[in-house]
Amino acid sequence: MFEQEGNRERIAAVTGASGAIGMAIARQLAAVPGHDVVLVCRNEDKAVRCVQNISHTTGNPRVRHELADLSRCASIEALAQRWERPLDVLVNNAAITPRRLTHTPEGIEMQFATNVLGYFWMIEVFTEHLKQGSAARIINVASYWAGGLDLGDLEFEKRRYNNDTAYRQSKQADRMLTVAFARRLQPFGIKVNACHPGDVNSTLSNNLGFGGHESPDEGARTPVWLATSDAGGKHTGKYFEHQRQVSCPFGRDSAAVESLYAACRSYTN
Ligand SMILES: NC(=O)c1ccc[n+]([C@@H]2O[C@H](COP(=O)([O-])OP(=O)(O)OC[C@H]3O[C@@H](n4cnc5c(N)ncnc54)[C@H](OP(=O)(O)O)[C@@H]3O)[C@@H](O)[C@H]2O)c1
């Protein structure tokens, strides 16, 4: 596990930290000595409650929140502008699975905006902060429940929307973008990995029609291991389940990975 780096704490941001798995990730990170943890949430009341709970249970006073709507590029850019410090750990975890076709105010299909572009924008917009970090790590919380990505119809304009299909596509995309960013950020020593957290009862899993047999703390274990352990820091561009690397077919198709990266880039302000 990382201890303090010189005189400075490691600074970690966790998106979707008011949710089941995100809050457990933030709490476990706050319990690791030498970590400042920032909960990136969209609802201030929930965020304040989570910060209080985590500070109280871990005894770590260096836990705070920032507000951002991760389905909107401008909101993420505003967050980055407020962020004056380096960033050592970015956990992209926020996701949504609306049962009905929903769009952001900019007209982007909501799952693609939040689950895919939200991850993409966080990495793009925070790249300079991550470069200033120390051996920075990015963890993209994805899923084994992934597949069916249609590069020609990322927003369900040609297909009938179904929240499970849109979700599986978004989690495939998270795993592909992990490979795209790992390549790009390797020269700066920034590690980028994806993982399946676990099957956890949550708003998200309920919307997909299942419950979950693992606790939020179990779900947080692999992302936190990737963020803090020596072993977790040895890899980049890989996909993990239960703290083990698992071969991922989605990252192997370099042409598709680059097409997805280019498609996401076209949504950036
Ligand atoms: N649960 C599972 O079994 C399971 C399995 C595999 C993978 N995963 C992955 O694990 C991650 C966490 O899932 P979870 O089960 O913990 O879900 P969850 O409890 O529903 O939490 C989702 C979080 O994302 C936040 N969020 C959604 N849209 C947002 C937006 N536009 N801006 C900012 N925050 C937003 C939510 O905020 P609010 O609290 O304000 O709604 C909430 O904090 C997801 O990436 C999911 O794909 C989960």
The pLDDT of residue 232: 87
Q: What is the pLDDT of residues 42-80, one digit of tens each?
A: 999 999 999 999 999 999 999 999 999 999 999 999 999
pLDDT for residue 192 is more than 60: yes
Q: Is 267 a catalytic residue?
A: no
The answer to whether residue 219 sits within a structural domain is: yes
The answer to whether residue 56 sits within a structural domain is: yes
The mean pLDDT of 252-266, rounded to a whole number, is: 97
The answer to whether residue 5 sits within a structural domain is: no
The mean pLDDT of 229-239, rounded to a whole number, is: 94
The answer to whether residue 252 sits within a structural domain is: yes
The answer to whether residue 3 sits within a structural domain is: no
Q: What is the pLDDT of residues 122-146, one digit of tens each?
A: 999 999 999 999 999 999 999 999 9
Q: What backbone phi and psi angles, to 5 degrees, belong to 57?
A: -75, -30
State the chain's mean pLDDT as an integer: 96
The pLDDT of residue 6: 56
% of the chain at pLDDT higher than 90: 96
The answer to whether residue 57 sits within a structural domain is: yes
Which band of pLDDT confidence, cut at 50, 70 and 90, is reported for residue 170? very high
The pLDDT of residue 7: 62
Which band of pLDDT confidence, cut at 50, 70 and 90, is reported for residue 197? very high
Domains identified in the chain, total number: 1
Long-range CB contact pairs, 202-211, < 8 A, 24+? 202/19, 202/20, 202/21, 203/19, 203/20, 204/19, 204/20, 204/95, 204/96, 204/97, 207/97, 207/98, 207/99, 207/163, 208/97, 208/145, 208/163, 208/164, 208/167, 209/164
pLDDT for residue 229 is more than 90: yes
> Which residue's entry shows tokens 């042409």?
255
Within 6 A (CB) of ligand 1 lie 16, 18-22, 42-43, 46, 69-71, 93-96, 114, 141, 143, 171, 196-197, 199-200, 202-205, 212
Q: Element (H or E) spanning 78, and its range?
A: helix 73-82
Cα 204 to averaged position of ligand 1 atoms, centre (Å): 6
pLDDT for residue 246 is more than 60: yes
- Could you please report the per-residue DSSP string of 63-74? EEEEE--TT-HH
The answer to whether residue 205 sits within a structural domain is: yes
Ligand 1 pocket test: pick from 18, 21, 121, 246 the residue with the most ligand atoms within 8 Å of its Cβ: 21
Q: Which domain CATH number covers 101?
A: 3.40.50.720
The answer to whether residue 4 sits within a structural domain is: no
User: 156-176: string of b/e by CB count within 10 Å (b at 16+)?
Assistant: beeeebebebbbbbbbbbbbb
Cα 94 to averaged position of ligand 1 atoms, centre (Å): 4
Range of the domain at 241: 10-265
